[in-house]
Amino acid sequence: MSPVAATFPPEQVTRELFFNVGGPHGFMRWGIYLFFGVALAFLALSLRARLRLWRQGVAEVRTDHPARRLAMVARYTLGQAKVVQERYAGLMHAALFYGFLTLFGVTLMIFVEADLTGPLAGVHFLHGTFYLVWSLIADLGGVVLLIGVGMAAVRRYGVRPPRLDNQPTDAVALALLALLCLTGFAGEAMRIAITHLPPFERFSPVGYLLARPLAGLGETSLRAFHAGNWWLHMGGSFACIGLMATGRLGHIVIATLNVYFGNLDDERPATRYTVPLIDPATFEQAESFGVGAVAELSWKALLDSDACTRCGRCQDRCPAWATAKPLSPKRLINQIQAAMEGRRGAAVAGETSGDGALPLLGGYLDLDAVWACTNCGACMAACPVNIEHVPRIIDLRRHQVLMEGAMAPELERTFMNLENHRNPYGFAFAKRGDWLPADLGVKLLAADREVDLLYFVGCAAAFDKQHQKSAVALLRCLAAAGLKVGILGAEEGCCGDAALRGGNEYLFQQLATHNLDRFAKYGVTQVVTTCPHGYNTLKKEYRRFAERRAAADPQAAPYRLTVHHHTELLAELVASGRLRLKESAARRITYHDPCFLGRYNDGYAAPRALLASLGGATVVEMDRHGRESFCCGAGGTRMWMEESIGTRINQTRCTEAHATGASLIATACPFCKTMLGDAIKELGFANLEVRDLAELLAEALEA
């Protein structure tokens, strides 16, 4: 027992439940649960209305592995894993969430004693030391919640970052939470004053402090004010409960559901952000591909749209939005929600009921916005409730390409080149191995299949002279480490990343089939590539496609590939001592993280380890690096399309690199190297160059 309460018997260190409103046996003990039932009924009806909307979506399996799904809720909802990544907004939301959760838990204790353990077992625990701790926690929870409300009000109505779009429900939510805190403290203070300031109530510090000036008021007045305040507090509490599936407070329930039904594959780098593939068998029977109307959205896509809290984190990190393109990931998801609501409204009006013919593109969504996406994944990485923006965009592109035949002329040319020549440049595929210098001793698998690993060259290194330097540098490093490497040469085809992310999945599956058959032909199990797009596609989408193909055709070759990005392999060789490096030239280097290596595959450590192995170099990071790195602008087929809206993404990134004072940008992606190299020329940064990490290592090899 605390010294403050030592003079009181433990059973007296407590308070009367339902004080001043009839006590534990008064009407309000039961009446409160009647009102609570009304609030729950409103919550249930609101949630039922949303469920009816979501269930109109296309079927999608999201109920498997419940334990793993609960773990996601624990991490992202209870643990606020993504929320706290922004300092002010994270602290603000954590204060709101944990403050509210604390008050909910404290109130739950009253219910447990008053209606469960007390009447059923005669067990009463809200007294003595437990009561003191419980009281202190309750006050701390209220203070924390009130701080969160204040921070939110300042942020939303004072500072107000451009990404926030205020709506009336935002103010209502903050007002209700403030009402809960203020009336809770006021009621506590009046109760303590009425009961003559018992010393042990100092464990309710806020209430005790406020009670002292109230002690001079008459008890009759205090009891009247307390009763009115109690009803106000209860009304606010019931309103919060009833609105937990509506408006701003709705994300308490709906966002939690969205996290639970999230994509489990996104939880680990080996499968993160894998594009959901169309089953190969459906190409022969399906009448429609992709998403062109509301009725073609999956139920999870509809849930995504309802779960959006409009926090704008996705928008803040979107390279398209940052360079004045019409794409805002937040707005795209909100427009899908508007389309969902529009379909419901049309059905009620008897206009378009069952067919869901309300169009998305050209109706609710901007076509230019859909094609502006670089697929960098920054939006999904930042979203606190795990909304899946990129798959929605790819589905919209599929409909445009496969159903409407609508795409930019340069993308149409790219697809034609891929179909006819198995590369986006349009060069003859027979010349795919002509870049290989004879002195490297690297052979085609057709001539010698006994190799340690296959170098999947990729289209850029096969046909672009500046990227051939990276390929030669890699092979020199692997030879120095004693590894025997082979290539496919003319038998290799494009990995199909541009086709897949550009919506032409039929073409992607053709290219994937071609390459998988060549891997099986030569018994390839170990692959290294210098292109993160090829690395990601071979590692993830090829595995999924091979599994689908094997399910339809038992004769199809199984997937047996282990795929390495060249930075990963080189870092292992340096760490093991198989690659010995001499001191490199003294220079200032900054590293640009390719999105498909970093954000998609957690490939952050290996490139930096390689830079650290270059003894004479000073490495400086750009302001946005690692998980917060900014895209070069080439992903999601943008490498093959003109950038005619807004400013150029590559120039924005290059300017950030130049600001570090570095003389060299190191990267590990041919697309990034091209984009940053072009930006250097366009911006006239004569003192800056861009190189692949393999080139830097090859230069530092010991003779």
DSSP state of 279: P
Q: Residue 125 carries which side chain, given as an amino acid letter?
A: F
Q: What is the pLDDT of residue 355?
A: 45
Tens digits of residue pLDDT in 241-255: 999 999 899 999 999
369, 332 in Cβ contact below 8 A? Answer: yes
Alpha-helical runs (H) found in 464-504: 465-480, 497-501
Residue 356, pLDDT above cutoff 50: no
Question: If DSSP codes are grouped into helix, strand and coil, which group holds residue 272?
Answer: coil
- For the chain, the residue count is 703
Alpha-helical runs (H) found in 246-372: 251-260, 282-285, 299-307, 313-317, 319-322, 329-348, 367-372
* Confidence at 6, pLDDT banded by 50, 70, 90: low
Compute the distance between CA of residue 183 and CA of residue 189 in angstroms, rounded to an integer.
Answer: 10
Q: 647: number of CA atoms within 13 Å, CB side? A: 15
Residue 686, pLDDT above cutoff 60: yes
Q: What's the rounded mean pLDDT across residues 217-241?
A: 93
Cα distances from 248 to residues 166, 239, 478, in angstroms, run 10, 13, 56
Q: Which CATH number fits domain 33-50+66-259: 3.40.50, 1.20.950, 2.50.20, 1.10.150?
A: 1.20.950
Compute the distance between CA of residue 467 and CA of residue 462 in angstroms, rounded to an integer.
Answer: 8
Task: Tell how strand 617-620 and strand 587-591 pair up.
Answer: parallel
Compute the distance between CA of residue 6 and CA of residue 664 in angstroms, rounded to an integer.
Answer: 71
Percent pLDDT > 90 in the chain is 83
Residue 354, pLDDT above cutoff 60: no
DSSP state of 628: G
Task: Spell out the residues 6+ positions from residue 453 whose beta carbon is closer than 8 angstroms to its own.
Answer: 483, 485, 486, 526, 527, 528, 564
For residues 415, 420, 422 and 427, what is the CA-based torsion angle, rounded to 10 degrees?
-100
Beta bridge partners of 58: 298
Task: Spell out the residues 6+ positions from residue 296 whose beta carbon is closer than 8 angstroms to its own.
Answer: 58, 288, 290, 356, 395, 399
Chain centroid to CA 440? 43
* Confidence at 348, pLDDT banded by 50, 70, 90: very low
* Confidence at 208, pLDDT banded by 50, 70, 90: very high
Residue 5, pLDDT above cutoff 80: no
Q: Residue 266 carries which side chain, given as an amino acid letter?
A: D
* Edge-to-edge strands, sheet with 689-692: 617-620, 587-591, 664-667, 689-692
* Confidence at 3, pLDDT banded by 50, 70, 90: low
What is the token pair recorded at 476? 């020199």
Q: What's the rounded mean pLDDT across residues 344-364?
A: 58
* CB atoms inside a 10 Å sphere around CB 344: 17
211, 189 in Cβ contact below 8 A? Answer: yes
Q: What is the pLDDT of residue 553?
A: 84
* Confidence at 284, pLDDT banded by 50, 70, 90: confident
Tens digits of residue pLDDT in 134-165: 999 999 999 999 999 999 999 999 999 999 99
- The answer to whether 33-50+66-259 and 276-404 have equal CATH topology is no
Compute the distance between CA of residue 636 and CA of residue 472 in angstroms, rounded to an integer.
Answer: 27
Residue 347, pLDDT above cutoff 70: no
Mean pLDDT of all residues belonging to the chain: 93
Question: If DSSP codes are grouped into helix, strand and coil, which group holds residue 693?
Answer: helix
For residues 324, 330, 332 and 335, what is the CA-based torsion angle, rounded to 10 degrees?
-120
Q: What is the pLDDT of residue 628?
A: 96
**How many helices and strands (H and E) does the chain possess?**
29, 9
Q: For 242-246, 438-442, 550-554, 652-656, which range has the lowest pLDDT when averaged over its residues?
A: 550-554
Residue 702, pLDDT above cutoff 90: no
Instruction: Name the nearest CA neighbour of 494 among 510, 506, 483, 481.
Output: 510
What is the token pair recorded at 72? 């996601």
Q: What's the rounded mean pLDDT across residues 183-211?
A: 95
- Span 276-404 CATH architecture: Orthogonal Bundle (1.10)
Q: What is the pLDDT of residue 506?
A: 94
Compute the distance between CA of residue 637 and CA of residue 497 in angstroms, rounded to an integer.
Answer: 8
Task: Spell out the residues 6+ positions from residue 209 whose beta carbon is closer than 8 angstroms to its own.
Answer: 189
Task: Spell out the residues 6+ positions from residue 578 whose beta carbon is closer than 8 angstroms to its own.
Answer: 481, 482
Q: Residue 468 carries which side chain, given as an amino acid letter?
A: Q
Instruction: Name the nearest CA neighbour of 195 among 180, 208, 181, 209.
Output: 208
702: left (phi over 0), alpha (psi -120 to 50) or beta: beta
**Residue given tokens 């080149």 in the structure block:** 417
* Confidence at 556, pLDDT banded by 50, 70, 90: confident
Task: Tell how strand 526-529 and strand 587-591 pair up.
Answer: unpaired
Compute the distance between CA of residue 604 and CA of residue 614 in angstroms, rounded to an integer.
Answer: 17
Tens digits of residue pLDDT in 58-95: 999 999 999 999 999 999 999 999 999 999 999 999 99
Compute the distance between CA of residue 653 and CA of residue 478 in angstroms, rounded to an integer.
Answer: 31
DSSP state of 691: E
For residues 305, 253, 175 and 206, what is the CA-based torsion angle, rounded to 10 degrees?
-150
Q: What is the pLDDT of residue 555?
A: 84
Q: What is the pLDDT of residue 346?
A: 55
Residue 122, pLDDT above cutoff 50: yes
Tens digits of residue pLDDT in 588-623: 999 999 999 999 999 999 999 999 999 888 999 999
Cα distances from 178 to residues 54, 142, 153, 170, 191, in angstroms, run 32, 9, 10, 12, 20
Per domain, the residue ranges of the chain are: 33-50+66-259, 276-404, 421-572, 576-699
Compute the distance between CA of residue 376 and CA of residue 645 in angstroms, rounded to an integer.
Answer: 18
- Higher-pLDDT residue of 366 and 664 is 664
Burial 537-576 (b: 16+ CB within 10 A, else e): bbbbbbbbbbebbeeeeeebbebebebbbbbbbbbebbee
What is the token pair recorded at 94? 């954590």
Domain spanning 576-699 has what CATH number? 3.40.50.10700
Tens digits of residue pLDDT in 632-685: 999 999 999 999 999 999 999 999 999 999 999 999 999 999 999 999 999 999
What is the token pair recorded at 662? 């570095």
Its pTM stands at 0.92
What is the token pair recorded at 421? 């020549």
* Confidence at 357, pLDDT banded by 50, 70, 90: low
Residue 130, pLDDT above cutoff 60: yes
